[in-house]
Amino acid sequence: MKSELDARGASIKRVANDIVDSRKTIAVTGAGISVESGIPDFRSAGGLWSKYDPEEYAHISAFRSDPAKVWQMIKDMMELVLGAEPNPAHIALAELERMGLLQAVITQNVDGLHQRGGSKEVVEFHGSNQWLVCLSCGYRRESSSFSLEDIPPRCPQCNSILKPDVIFFGEPIPAEAQKKSFEAARTSDLVLVIGTSAIVYPAAGIPTLAKQNGAKVVEINMEPTPLTGFVSDYLIQGSAGVILPQIVEEIRKQSS
Ligand code: NAD
Ligand code: ZN
């Protein structure tokens, strides 16, 4: 146990130095960073995703064929998100940005918790729960403008069932988010990959793109991923809500 703690301490110092030395650092985050806010990720046992198989419910063909059924899952997810608060991991990333040490967060999450945690430069790679769109006529409105008791919400222009503006499996990534993310990956020299299983593409390709352009890649995750030992230079294993505040603390200590 003690040697594990020593090893963790050494990694915290190492990543703190890497962040301070870097000219441009970005964070790539996944569902794991919101687990400590009470929003379950896809892979862990229990919770929302044992009730709704993501392959079945989160595919665009499922939405097109039975939107009212998929709205049951969306409602449960939205209720979870409405009740969730940013956790110390979101807050630590916002702090790094304020310190001038983090240039952008590219997130696969649709929960808005980075922004609520104080981050300003956030690219939502898979869209956001905050908007609803009509797939038939393009109408948009804010999710907060309707009651979750009234699902499924309908388009006032054409009566189709509205869809949250998040990317379902089988849909393209929003062009602007993809352009910004790839550009950030190509021009950064340090990427913090936090709480993503790195198996959903093209998001999982962002660290690889950065690496090919000379960036250092550091993973913070509960467990190894396909990037570990291949794309990432090192993994700090553990929960993001513990590790990220420790990194901020270490940087403060070094600069005081
Ligand atoms: P994932 O569920 O595939 O993987 C989560 C990863 O985070 C795993 O590797 C797990 O070991 C790690 N993890 C879990 N708890 C952690 C913690 N406390 N600290 C650090 N790491 C932790 O998630 P993904 O890679 O983001 O891919 C799933 C897709 O599902 C994404 O496209 C995302 O848009 C969507 N999704 C979003 C949310 C959300 O918005 N919060 C929630 C579930 C799924
Ligand atoms: Zn419409």
3-state secondary structure of 80: helix
Computed from CA positions of residues 74, 162, 114, 123, in that sequence, does the dihedral angle turn out positive or negative? positive
Residue 157's pLDDT is: 97
Nearest atom, ligand 1, residue 225 CA: 9
109 lines ligand 1 (CB under 6 A): yes
Nearest atom, ligand 1, residue 166 CA: 34
Dig out the tokens for 164 from the structure.
Answer: 């949250």
Q: Which of 206, 199, 203 has its CA nearest to residue 172? A: 203
DSSP 107: E
Residue 2's pLDDT is: 66
C-beta contacts of 65-69 below 8 A and 24+ residues apart:
67/152, 67/161, 67/163, 68/151, 68/152, 68/161
Residue 94's pLDDT is: 98
Residue 42's pLDDT is: 83
> How far apart, in Å, are the Cα atoms of 107 and each of 160, 170, 250?
29, 18, 24
Peptide bond into 152 cis (omega under 30): yes
pLDDT along the chain (256 residues), means of 10: 75 97 98 96 77 88 94 93 96 98 98 98 96 96 90 95 95 96 98 96 96 98 96 97 98 92
Nearest CA to ligand 1 atom 22: 32
Domains of the chain listed by start with CATH number: 1-39+86-126+173-256 (3.40.50.1220), 41-83+130-166 (3.30.1600.10)
Q: Which of 104, 39, 48 has its CA nearest to residue 73? A: 48
Residue 8's pLDDT is: 84
Residue 146's pLDDT is: 87
195 lines ligand 1 (CB under 6 A): yes
Computed from CA positions of residues 179, 181, 182, 183, in that sequence, does the dihedral angle turn out positive or negative? positive
| 208 Cβ contact list (under 8 Å, min separation 6) | 227, 231
C-alpha 162 – ligand 2 centre gap (Å): 7
Residue 48's pLDDT is: 80
Q: Which of 107, 131, 126, 127 has its CA nearest to residue 117? A: 107
Q: Decide: residue 92, CB within 10 A, 0-12 exposed, 13-18 middle, 19+ buried.
A: buried
C-alpha 1 – ligand 1 centre gap (Å): 27
Residue 56's pLDDT is: 84
User: Model pTM?
Assistant: 0.95
Dig out the tokens for 45 from the structure.
Answer: 């046992």
C-alpha 140 – ligand 2 centre gap (Å): 9
Residue 50's pLDDT is: 85
219 lines ligand 1 (CB under 6 A): no
